[in-house]
Amino acid sequence: MIKKGNCVASFEQHLNVSVITTGLFIVPLSLSNTFDTQASLIALSLGLLGGIFPDLDSDNSKPIRILFKILSIFFPLLFLIFLQLKMPLLYILVVWLGATLLFHFGVFKFFTLITTHRGIFHSIPMALFVALGVIHTFLYLHYPQLQALLFGVFFFFGFVIHLLLDELFSINALGFEIKKSFGSALKLYDKENFIGTTLLYGGIGFLAYNLHFQEQTYQKFFTLLMKIHFY
C-alpha cells in the first residue's frame, strides 16, 4: 500500500544519528593512534556535515539557511585574507559587506533555483562526488593520505546514513504502508534529471582518475578496517 504522505526524518534526528554513528567509528581510530585530537574533531565534523548535507536542496530547510548564513559571512573574509589585499580597513569592510550580500542574495538564490528537493542532490553519487572532493581538499592541504581518505569516508558515511534514515521514515512497518517518498533518497540516479546525473558521474570519474594514492595507503586502510572492533 502506498501512502501519499511525505514523512521524513527531522533535522534534529539526522543530527543526532550522525553524531552517534560517526562517534562510534572515531573512538577505535583514536585508540589505535590513527587519529589525534585534531583529526578526530575534523572527522566528527565531516560526518556531521555529511549527515545534514543532503537537505541543502530544500529551500526551506534549517541546514541550508544556517550554512549559507555562515558561508555568506566567512567565505568573503577568507577570500580577502587569501588575496592579502593592501587596502585601508574601511575599503576592506565595504568589499567584505558587498561580497557577503552578493553571496547571500546571489549564490544562495541561484542554488535554490537550480536544485529540487529529493533530486540528484539527494543521491549516492552526490555523496561519492563530494566525498572525493573532501579527499582532494585535504590532500591539497598536505594532510597524510590515510587521514585524507578517512575524512572522505566519514563524510560519505554521514551522507549515506542520512539517505538511509529518510528511506526508513518512508516505511510504516506496523501498518505495512509505503510513503510516496520511498526510493527518492537512496538512489543511484535521478530519472528526471539526465543531464545532471551525467555531469555528476563525469565529475566522479574525473576526481577518481586524478586521485593518486600510494599502494601502502590502501593497504593501511583495509588493514585498519579489519582491526576495528566494537566489543
Q: pLDDT per residue over 174-216, tens digit each? A: 344 444 444 455 788 877 778 888 988 999 999 999 998 988 9
Number of H helices, E strands in the chain: 9, 3
How is the chain split into domains, by residue range?
A: 2-55+117-227, 59-115
- Residue 57 is placed in which grid cell? 536542496
> 143: exposed, middle or buried (C-beta count within 10 Å: 0-12, 13-18, 19+)?
middle
| 123 closest CA partner among 21, 204, 63 | 204
pTM across the whole model: 0.72
Q: Tens digits of per-residue pLDDT, 61-101? A: 665 667 667 767 766 776 666 666 666 777 777 877 888 88
